[in-house]
Chains A and B, each alone.
Chain A
Amino acid sequence: MNRVRILLATAGIAVLTGLWFAFTSPVDRLQGEFSRILNLHAPFMWVAFLAFGVTAFASIMWLIRRTSRWDRLAVSSVELGVVFTATGLFTGMVWGQAVWGRAWDWADPRMASTAVMFFVYIGYLALRRAIPDPEMRAKRSALLGAIAVIQVPLVYFSVNLFRSLHQTQSIRPDGATMPDEMLTALLVNFVAITFLYFALLVGRLHLARLEEASAAETARDPDAVTPPRLSEVKDV
């Protein structure tokens, strides 16, 4: 647990550094102060993509190895991905309302595909809660986790494939479409929020191990009071 605390404290310092860069960098001439929100919106969405990528990798590894550590990694990363997608959507809506004059537009492929991705991963968490058997739960969620990642490149490249309110990528192989000071602030926030994701992931994995051990202990304890199965209840 101490390792988790040290990681979270370091992530906190990284986030504070990111905030300092976000609020001291120059602003866009047309967007004004609202351009600072992009220092949060883009890294949150990047971390959500990373989290769902980690889930897909862990899901495939579970399907190959069938060991519970991969299942724990998959669910831990989905939870974080959902949190970061929610905050990414929120920051994007505030920015959109200020700059485009509308917070949401279902006709925009990036927004619509992100919303679908968000609900699919909420469905992943709901699916896990609906299956009491750990083996079956791990199997079904691994299949969903491995398939659902297809949405990540769809969301990312939706601005290139379809007509979109969203601009195309600002950081490209041939250079960035913004001044160096703004790019530095954005990259610092990318690093800080990615580090925050890894720190929270280590904490979530620690919790998952603890909960699994606790569940196994309860299953072994003959005196533990467990509710009867519905099929065992004959007369109510």
Chain B
Amino acid sequence: MSDLAIVIGTFAISYAVVVGYAGYLHLRHRRAKG
């Protein structure tokens, strides 16, 4: 795997974790609103 592919993958995974957390908050928000 090329160095750049590893770097892009690292960025993608890191931001996927943050976006996943935002999605989790969104689901909790919907549940709290009922």
Residues of A that sit less than 8 Å from B by CB: 1, 8, 15, 19, 22, 32-34, 36-37, 40, 44, 79-80, 83-84, 86-87, 90-91, 94-95, 98, 196, 200, 203-204, 206-207, 210-211, 214
Contacts and interface: CB of A to CB of B under 8 A. Distances in A.
B3 A34 contact: yes
Interface residues of B, number: 19
Nearest to A31: B3
B22 A211 contact: no
Contacts, number: 63
A40 B33 contact: no
A217 B18 CA distance: 31
A83 B17 contact: yes
Given A34-B3, A207-B25, A207-B29, A87 B11 contact: no
A131 B21 CA distance: 24
Given A19-B11, A90-B14, A98 B32 contact: no
A206 to B, nearest CB: 7
A79 B28 CA distance: 14
A207 to B, nearest CB: 5
Contacts of A211: 28, 32
Interface of B: 3-4, 6-7, 10-11, 13-15, 17-18, 21-22, 25, 28-29, 32-34
Nearest to A22: B11
Nearest to A93: B10
A200 B10 contact: no
Nearest to A8: B22
Nearest to B13: A90
Contacts of B34: 214
A97 B22 CA distance: 29
Given A86-B17, A200-B22, 20 more contacts: A22-B11, A32-B3, A33-B3, A33-B4, A37-B7, A40-B11, A40-B14, A44-B14, A83-B21, A84-B18, A87-B14, A90-B10, A90-B17, A94-B10, A203-B22, A203-B29, A207-B28, A207-B29, A210-B32, A214-B32
